[in-house]
Amino acid sequence: MTDRPDGGDGGALSALLHETRRFEPPADFAARANARPGIYEEAAADPEAWWARQAEHLTWDHHWDRVLDWEEPSARWFAGGRLNAAYNCVDRHVEAGHGGRVAFHWVGEPEGDIRTITYADLQAMVCRAANALVELGVEAGDRVMIYLPMIPEAVVAMLACARLGAPHSVVFGGFSAEALAARTLDADARVAITADGGYRRGATSALKPNLDEALERCPAVRSVLAVRRTGQEVAWKEGRDVWWHDVVDRQSDRHEAASFDAEHPLYLMYTSGTTAAPKGILHTTGGYLVHTATTHRLVFDIKPDEDVYWTAADIGWVTGHSYIVYGPLANGATSVLYEGTPDAGGRDRWWRIIEEYKVSILYTAPTTIRTLMKWGEDLPAAHDLTSLRLLGSVGEPINPEAWMWYRRHVGGDRCPIVDTWWQTETGGILIAPLPGITATKPGAAMAALPGVSVDVVDGDGNPVGNGEGGYLVVDRPWPGMLRGIWGDPERYRQTYWSRFPGRYFAGDGAKKDEDGDLWLLGRVDDVMNISGHRISTTEVEHALVSHPQVAEAAVVGASDPTTGQGIVAFVTVKGDAAQSDEEGAALVVALRETVASAIGPIAKPRQILLTPELPKTRSGKIMRRLLRDVAEHRELGDVTTLVDPTVVNMIDGKMQSAETAGED
Ligand code: WTA
């Protein structure tokens, strides 16, 4: 952890706190909003009773006995209750007469490649997939890996697992074979679901070949179910690999959903921590579904029979799990599911999708908003975006410029913006304005949701006053909270519940402004946020030092105008490796590839600087704080604890000359 509770932003974000613009909820929005005045007071009066009332929106096979059993750090929500998550997301809507409602308008990356999937269709697809998984020997409790592009089968596969009580572990398609293998081994999965490949800006990318490579290290995986998406040639292992269209399509479209304990594991989602090993965040069934459905209903104001909702994120991240799959489907919403990048088929692709499907609610990340901003306001202006009524943001702090651009050029100055703070660990949104109730400020996530209690504390755990910053903590258990780190209860306790006893430590810096409203300031630990994706500095350092010519590596996240943060690596080489400029340049290229194959292309450093030495304290600790100053072109902080203070000046000089030489 750094010693800077302001998130180490060097004061840039603190300047935001002088923001004076305020946007009141539009009266017509407020008149029809799902969140009613008084909701905060009502929830605060008895949070557990309030969550229990939200839980009544789901269909339970057996009612819970107690709302919460809490023995820090272990929570059981809706203890004794039983339900099936897939039944709640699909079947019950069909049984209620909404089978003809569209669940997904799926838009493939190639133009014209579209599918419309109603709730009745989804029910049949999920039942067939569940029957196929049973045929492959999947039983309740078995972990199933999912490594798929953004195609309907990804949602179907997740729900089929949920239906069987087999926790899924979805790995983002951009992760490498090595990263996939580590996750598969940690989860001890026996079955994996993939596709031959996926589309990315017109080109096809390989998925099954990566999985095949990963599985060389995972002999316990006995079945691979593969969707044919791109039609590319793929290797085939007889006895292990089967095609989705061979095995799933011939199954019955009926399947009886069993009910599971509210605390039955629903899924694992691996995320980066401060050490090299990613942690398998465990979510369970009842509380998670209550949390995602409730927050989706209140924060996104969903009206299932009117809205067209679009979370423009990948299913491989928690945002896709909670706000493409579980929350929207539990609420019976109609969503857009888009396979590609914002510029696939032209930089106006998003605006065309919104216009065509009359999208009313859009949820995306600041990094994407900044990219769209760079492409210019003429593109959104050329399309009819008047169907939009609400905009959301997630993944990193949103800068006021991006917020204002989003409001004006996408939301036509009429749509409320909800800046939503949460994490893989929290399962769902914890901090956000409620549209129709909360006046918003550009860049502020504003306040904890009803039923949620957060605070900002100093290093000793004392709440800070208004106008001050510190560490974000959550004071009370919440239904969507992680139940643990897969296979590592001690790491769970240590990471989240030891820094401030009795409170959940989020790892984020935050400030309360003069009005007591909350501003999130970014991570205070060694986790970077690259385009809204969490990557640990340690993970990248491990990848770099795995290269035979590297002696030591230090990695920092430096602020970046588009991606939020960019990865900058400082590397020392062994012996007489890479002495000439040419050898150095070749090594830098090789190192970027090493990182891509260890983690994935998303983790490739923006810049790698080869240096004879790294700045160290007398106890041998690398001073990353100073390297961050270097990477962000700031005046260097305190260098007195260094063994050799000249080292950092030397690196600073090297950095500057590298940049003038255009090596960046
Ligand atoms: C950051 C993504 C500021 C934060 C849902 C958190 C945010 C990490 C916001 C979790 C926001 C997410 N404002 N920062 N609205 N939302 N973050 O697990 O640092 O991929 O700890 O979950 O993203 O990232 P994760």
| More confidently predicted of 295 and 648 | 295
pLDDT for the residue 8 = 41
**Maximum average pLDDT range among 16-30, 453-467, 643-657:** 453-467
Structure confidence by residue, pLDDT tens digits, 351-405: 999 999 999 999 999 999 999 999 999 999 999 999 999 999 999 999 999 999 9
Task: Give me the residue label for tokens 């306790």.
Answer: 493
Asked if 163 and 142 count as a contact pair (C-beta separation under 8 A), the reply is no
Give the residue whose CA is nearest to atom 12 of ligand 1.
Answer: 395
**Residue 597 to residue 182: CA distance in whole angstroms:** 13
Please report which helix (H) or strand (E) contains residue 495, including its range.
helix 489-497
Please report which helix (H) or strand (E) contains residue 299, including its range.
helix 286-299
**Residue 310 to residue 337: CA distance in whole angstroms:** 7
Asked if 508 and 426 count as a contact pair (C-beta separation under 8 A), the reply is no
Tell me if the pTM is above 0.85: yes
Give the residue whose CA is nearest to atom 11 of ligand 1.
Answer: 421
Residue 11 pLDDT greater than 60, yes or no: no
Q: Within 6 Å (CB) of ligand 1, which residues are found? A: 271, 317-319, 394-397, 419-424, 445, 506-508, 520, 522-523, 529, 534
The mean pLDDT value for 513-531 works out to 92
596 CB neighbour count, 10 Å cutoff: 18
- Interval between CA 452 and ligand 1 midpoint (Å): 17
**Residue 150 to residue 412: CA distance in whole angstroms:** 29
Following DSSP, what letter does each residue of 362-378 receive, concatenated? Answer: EEE-HHHHHHHHHT-TH
Structure confidence by residue, pLDDT tens digits, 462-473: 999 999 999 999
Residue 13 pLDDT greater than 70, yes or no: no
Residue % of the chain over a pLDDT of 90: 86
Residue 446 pLDDT greater than 90, yes or no: yes
Residue 660 pLDDT greater than 80, yes or no: no
Give the residue whose CA is nearest to atom 15 of ligand 1.
Answer: 421
The mean pLDDT value for 324-340 works out to 98
Phi-psi region of 110 (alpha: psi -120 to 50; beta: other; left: phi over 0): beta
- Interval between CA 314 and ligand 1 midpoint (Å): 15
Cα–Cα distances in Å, from 501 out to 48, 77, 279, 424, 478? 21, 21, 21, 21, 17
Position 481, amino acid: M
Q: What is the largest CA-CA distance in the chain?
A: 73
Asked if 482 and 283 count as a contact pair (C-beta separation under 8 A), the reply is yes
Contacts of 442 (CB under 8 A, 6+ apart): 19, 21, 398, 400, 403, 404, 407
Cα–Cα distances in Å, from 33 out to 129, 308, 437? 37, 16, 8
Cα–Cα distances in Å, from 394 out to 198, 263, 309, 362, 445? 25, 27, 15, 11, 10
DSSP-based three-state secondary structure for 16: helix
DSSP-based three-state secondary structure for 237: coil
Backbone angles phi, psi at 568, to 5 degrees: -120, 130
Q: For the chain, give me the number of helices (H) and strands (E)? A: 22, 30
Output the six-digit token pair for 21. 């613009």
Task: Give me the residue label for tokens 């970046």.
Answer: 560
What DSSP character marks residue 118? E
Which residue out of 270, 272, 394, 517 has the highest number of ligand 1 atoms within 8 Å of its CB and is therefore the one to mutate?
394
**Residue 495 to residue 502: CA distance in whole angstroms:** 13
- Interval between CA 420 and ligand 1 midpoint (Å): 8
Residue 12 pLDDT greater than 80, yes or no: no
Asked if 192 and 212 count as a contact pair (C-beta separation under 8 A), the reply is no
- Interval between CA 506 and ligand 1 midpoint (Å): 10
Residue 65 pLDDT greater than 70, yes or no: yes
Closest ligand 1 atom to the C-alpha of 534? Answer: 20
- Interval between CA 79 and ligand 1 midpoint (Å): 29
Backbone angles phi, psi at 438, to 5 degrees: -90, 130
The pLDDT confidence band at residue 10, using thresholds 50, 70 and 90, is very low
Helix 537-545 crosses helix 581-598 at what angle (to 10 degrees)? 120
| More confidently predicted of 643 and 470 | 470
**Residue 216 to residue 42: CA distance in whole angstroms:** 55
Which residue out of 403, 495, 529, 530 has the highest number of ligand 1 atoms within 8 Å of its CB and is therefore the one to mutate?
529
**Residue 238 to residue 369: CA distance in whole angstroms:** 45
Closest ligand 1 atom to the C-alpha of 507? Answer: 21
The mean pLDDT value for 594-619 works out to 92
Position 390, amino acid: L
pLDDT for the residue 29 = 98
Closest ligand 1 atom to the C-alpha of 520? Answer: 3
- Interval between CA 11 and ligand 1 midpoint (Å): 20
**Residue 295 to residue 430: CA distance in whole angstroms:** 8
Give the residue whose CA is nearest to atom 8 of ligand 1.
Answer: 423
Closest ligand 1 atom to the C-alpha of 521? Answer: 3
Position 282, amino acid: L
Following DSSP, what letter does each residue of 443-494 receive, concatenated? Answer: T--B-BPTT--EEEE-TTSPBPPTT-EEEEEE-S--TT---EETT-HHHHHH
pLDDT for the residue 467 = 93
Residue 249 pLDDT greater than 90, yes or no: yes
Output the six-digit token pair for 542. 């491990």
pLDDT for the residue 645 = 86
DSSP-based three-state secondary structure for 215: helix
**Residue 637 to residue 634: CA distance in whole angstroms:** 8
583 CB neighbour count, 10 Å cutoff: 15
Asked if 197 and 208 count as a contact pair (C-beta separation under 8 A), the reply is yes
Asked if 270 and 181 count as a contact pair (C-beta separation under 8 A), the reply is no
**CA Rg value for the chain:** 24
- Interval between CA 576 and ligand 1 midpoint (Å): 42
pLDDT for the residue 18 = 66
User: How remote is the C-alpha of 11 from its chain's centroid?
Assistant: 26
Asked if 614 and 570 count as a contact pair (C-beta separation under 8 A), the reply is yes
Structure confidence by residue, pLDDT tens digits, 126-185: 999 999 999 999 999 999 999 999 999 999 999 999 999 999 999 999 999 999 999 999
Give the residue whose CA is nearest to atom 24 of ligand 1.
Answer: 423
Closest residue by Cα to residue 178 from 542, 423, 491, 424: 542
Which residue out of 422, 472, 481 has the highest number of ligand 1 atoms within 8 Å of its CB and is therefore the one to mutate?
422
Mean pLDDT of the chain: 94
